[in-house]
Amino acid sequence: MHSPDRSTPPVIQPIDQIRLQAPILQHLPNHIPLFIFPNEPLDLIHLLIRVKAGTLHEHVKHLALFTYSLLKESSPRYTANEIADRMDFNGTHYTVSQTLEWVNISISAPKCQISNILPVIFEFLACPEFREENLSIYRNIRIKDLEYNEQKTEFKATQLLLHAMFGDAVTAGQISTKEFISAITIGQMKNYHQETFVAENITLFATGNIDDTLNQLIVNLFSQIPSGKAVLPLGAIPLPSDRTPVIHGTIPTAVQASISLGMPNIGYLDPDKRDFSILSTLLGGYFGSRLMQRLREKEGYTYGVSSGSVYFGSQSLFIIDSNVNAPDANAALSACFEEMQRMQDEPVPQEELDSVRNYIIGDMLRDVENSVSYMKKYAFWQSFGLTEEEFPTMMRHIREITPDRIQTLAKKYLSHNNFTQVIVK
C-alpha cells in the first residue's frame, strides 16, 4: 500500500456559481420584518433580534451597553438567578453584542423547549424592570474590566484612535472612564429602552425547524412591541480633516507596544467597496498578507497584524493594528507605510492575487455554510439594504479583479496623509 504523495498539493478546483436561497420574509402586524431561514433537520432554534440602538445612537457614554446587557437581569417576575436557572433548564443560550449602529440579541434553544422559554425572555426584553442592585453589580464589573483593560496597550491605542476619529461629538469617541460608568442611572436606561426598543427599530431573523406553531408564537409575541419613533439614519459624522503626525500614549507597566493606523473611508454601498475589501485583505487581512509577511516573517516585530474596515451609516473606518516589540514601534509604523507605497508602485503578482482570491472565496463559503452562519451574514447585508444577491456580486468582483485595479485603488486610498497614527507603549 503506497503512502499518499503529500509533496504536491491537490489541484484547486474553481467554485462554480452559487445561488443562495432567499429567506422567507414576513411582516408582523406592527410592521417588524421577520426573515425565516428554513432548516427542517435543525431542532436547535436560533433567533436573532437586531435593534438599531448601538453606540452611535446613545447620548450618554455606555448607555446602550448597560441598557441591553442588563435586560436579562430585569425580568418583571423573576430574579436574575431564577432567569439563569430557567435558561439552563431549557437548554437556552442567550447573548447580547453591540456595534456602532446595532444591538444584537441572540437566542438559541431546543425546539421542544422554545415555547417554554421564549415568552419568559420576551417579557424582560419588552417590559424590563431595571433594579438598582443589578445595576450596582454590573457597574462594579465594568469598572473592574476598565481597570484591567487600561493596562493593555491595545485597549488604550483603540481608545486614542477612536477619540482622534470621532472626537467628543459622539460617545464612541469619548475616552472611557470610571466616571462615565458610575454616572449611568436607572432612569436613563428606562428612557433609552423606551426610545429604541420599538417596532420601527427592530428586525427579526430565525432559523431551524420552524413550523407553523412556532412561527405563530414568534409573531404573537413580537407583535406586542409598540410603535414609536424610528432612529434616524446616520448622517455623515464629521471625521478629522487634520492628521496629528503620531499620537503617543504610555502605560508604565507595558512590556510591548501597540500601533494603530486609522482613516475615514468609504461606506458599504460605495462602488469601490467590494474591490477595496480585496485590497484590504491583500494588505493585512489574512495570514499570508503583505503586512504579515513584512512585520512578522521578515522583520520579527510582531506575532500578528490585521487590517479591516468598520462600517456604519454611509461611512467606515479603515484600521490597521498590531502589537509589536516596544523598541520597534516606529519602525513597524514605517514598514506599514512602505508596504502601502509598494502596492501603489508595483502591480501585485498574479500568483499572490490568486492566493488572496482563493482565501476570500473560502472565507465567504464559510459564512454561508449552514443556515445559522448564513442568517447572521444576511442580517449584516440587510442592514445596508442588500440581499442574498450580494454573494454572487462579490464572487464576480473577486474573479474579475486585476493587478491594475488593485494598484489603482492603492493609489486612490492608501495615502500616508490619510492616516491617523497611534503608538502606545
What was the pLDDT predicted at 11? 73
Q: Which residues make Cβ contacts (< 8 Å) with residue 252, sequence separation at least 6?
A: none
What was the pLDDT predicted at 14? 66
Distances (CA, A) of 394 to 15, 228, 345, 363: 13, 36, 26, 12
The secondary structure of 354-401 as a DSSP string is HHHHHHHHHHHHHHTSSHHHHHHHHHHHHTTT--TTHHHHHHHHHHH-
pLDDT in tens, 384-411: 999 999 999 999 999 999 999 999 999 9
Q: Which residues make Cβ contacts (< 8 Å) with residue 76, sequence separation at least 6?
A: 123, 124, 127, 128, 129
When the pLDDT of each residue in the chain is averaged and rounded to a whole number, the result is 94
* Other C-beta atoms lying within 10 Å of the C-beta of residue 227: 11
Query: Average pLDDT in the 313-332 region?
Result: 95
Distance CA 138, CA 70 (A): 8
In the CATH scheme, what is the code of domain 24-222?
Answer: 3.30.830.10
Cα 323 from chain centroid (whole Å): 21
Query: Average pLDDT in the 319-339 region?
Result: 96
Residue 18 has pLDDT above 90, yes or no: no
pLDDT in tens, 59-81: 999 999 999 999 999 999 999 99
Q: Are 149 and 155 in contact (CB under 8 A)?
A: yes
The superfamily in CATH containing domain 247-424 is Metalloenzyme, LuxS/M16 peptidase-like (3.30.830.10)
Residue 6 has pLDDT above 90, yes or no: no
* Band (310; pLDDT cuts 50, 70, 90): very high
| C-alpha cell, 104 | 444584537
Strands 247-249, 420-424: pairing is parallel
Residue 2 has pLDDT above 70, yes or no: no
Q: Are 144 and 76 in contact (CB under 8 A)?
A: no
Nearest Cα neighbor of 51 from 211, 225, 224 is 225
- The pTM for the full model equals 0.93
What was the pLDDT predicted at 233? 80
What was the pLDDT predicted at 16? 64
Residue 141 has pLDDT above 80, yes or no: yes
What was the pLDDT predicted at 19? 86
Do the domains 24-222 and 247-424 sit in the same CATH topology, yes or no? Answer: yes
Distance CA 305, CA 199 (A): 41
pLDDT in tens, 217-265: 999 999 999 999 998 888 788 877 667 789 999 999 898 999 999 999 9
Strands 202-208, 33-38: pairing is parallel
What was the pLDDT predicted at 10? 73
3-state DSSP helix/strand/coil percent for the chain, to nearest 5?
A: 50, 20, 35
Distance CA 31, CA 407 (A): 46
Q: Which residues make Cβ contacts (< 8 Å) with residue 30, sequence separation at least 6?
A: 199, 222, 223, 225, 226, 227
Distances (CA, A) of 284 to 275, 303, 329: 15, 13, 17
What was the pLDDT predicted at 235? 79
Query: Average pLDDT in the 262-275 region?
Result: 96
pLDDT in tens, 178-221: 999 999 999 999 999 999 999 999 999 999 999 999 999 999 99
| Upper half-sphere CA count for residue 172 (Cβ side, 13 Å) | 19
DSSP 11: P
Domain boundaries, the chain: 24-222, 247-424
Query: Average pLDDT in the 99-126 region?
Result: 97
The secondary element (H helix, E strand) that includes residue 193 is helix 186-196
